[in-house]
Amino acid sequence: MQYRTLGRTGVQVSSLALGAMNFGQIGRTTQDEATAIVDAALEAGINLIDTADMYGRGESEEMVGKAVAGRRDDIVLATKAGMPMGEQRHQQGSSRRWLVTELDNSLRRLGVDHVDLYQIHRWDPNTGDEETLSALTDLQRAGKIRYFGSSTFPAYRIVQAQWAARDSHLSRYVTEQPGYSILQRGAETHVLPVTEEYGLGVLVWSPLASGWLSGAIREGRDVTTSRSTFMPQRFDITIPANRAKLDAVEQLAKVADEAGLTMIQLALGFVTAHPAVTSALIGPRTLDHLHSQLAAADTVLSADVLDAIDSIVAPGLDLAPHEKSDTPPALLDPSLRRR
């Protein structure tokens, strides 16, 4: 396992990190299975575990808490807040009112007195940067969080938050968690250059592109990933973007074969090769999934392999741009771009 410094924090984290989104109802992973996955991940050298309050409406945090009980000090523990947690209008977002309440809920579910990294799950256009940063700074000073970061923020919002922290003399975001994979390379255009400029650690989610790069999805095969059951539109190959992804996967499979690698090794080795990336978040549902992903822990792709990938999916290109999660709200909601 490789270890890298998380931004400018001085904290050393593994180049593969364990994402716990699949723990519980989302991935149908039981507590015993989750604990076995955590045990194996820690044994392999992974030392960062990432979850969120909204994964199973708190279920993932509860399962992670039980799995890490008794060895909290060995783990860099990260969670997130901001996505809806109920039907009430104030049970979401990044206001002081909600973050103070929800962090206590997360700590209770995790069974800990602090988290190492508390992340704002999505940019909240209804809340000013100073409001959020002030609340996070106070929670940091209270000892409930060690550091805080953002997740899936547009590049310009990452910059704005850095300026707001400087101007208001507040603590700043020290990490960003963007989506990034061979098939979705848009982060290379704006987000990753910004994180490098400001010295942010980067924890990449969906490096296997929701299973497209796992080796399970190939021409002529039925799609068998868990994501296809609740996101079928992302796997319908009659959709042009999905057809483009499948065509790219077939070419990438040849590159992997010629290099003596699995598709998973190719995919994870690609994202961890980028100098801006600290860790790739893997989200196994089973021990078999974990072991297949751990095989990429020390994968280093040659320049020839990286050049071959560039020739298949150009740098900065999203093959499915409509799947991006950091699109400015005005591009999605006509009422925000009309007077």
Express each pLDDT in 76-110 by its tens digit. 999 999 999 988 888 999 999 999 999 999 999 99
* Residue appearing with tokens 């973050």: 99
Which residue stretches of the chain have pLDDT < 70? 222-230
Residue 135's domain comprises 12-177
pTM equals: 0.93
Mean of per-residue pLDDT scores for the chain:
94
Q: Are residues 172 and 235 in the same domain?
A: no
CB atoms within 10 A of CB 3: 15
- Active site annotation includes 55: yes
Q: How far apart are CA 203 and CA 14, in angstroms?
A: 10
Q: How many domains does the chain have?
A: 2
Q: What is the pLDDT of residue 243?
A: 93
Q: Are residues 172 and 267 in the same domain?
A: no
Q: What is the pLDDT of residue 181?
A: 98
- Render pLDDT for 120-131 as a digit per residue (tens, 0 to 9): 999 999 999 999
| Domain end among 159, 177, 195 | 177
Residue 116, φ and ψ in degrees, nearest 5: -80, -35
Q: What is the pLDDT of residue 36?
A: 97
Q: What is the pLDDT of residue 230?
A: 59
- Render pLDDT for 152-189 as a digit per residue (tens, 0 to 9): 999 999 999 999 999 999 999 999 999 999 999 999 99
Residue 191, φ and ψ in degrees, nearest 5: -65, -50
Q: Are residues 34 and 145 in the same domain?
A: yes
Q: Are residues 131 and 251 in the same domain?
A: no
- What CATH number should be reported for the domain holding residue 92? 3.20.20.100
Catalytic residue among 3, 55, 156, 180: 55
For 126, counting Cβ atoms within 10 Å of its Cβ (0-12 exposed, 13-18 middle, 19+ buried), the class is exposed
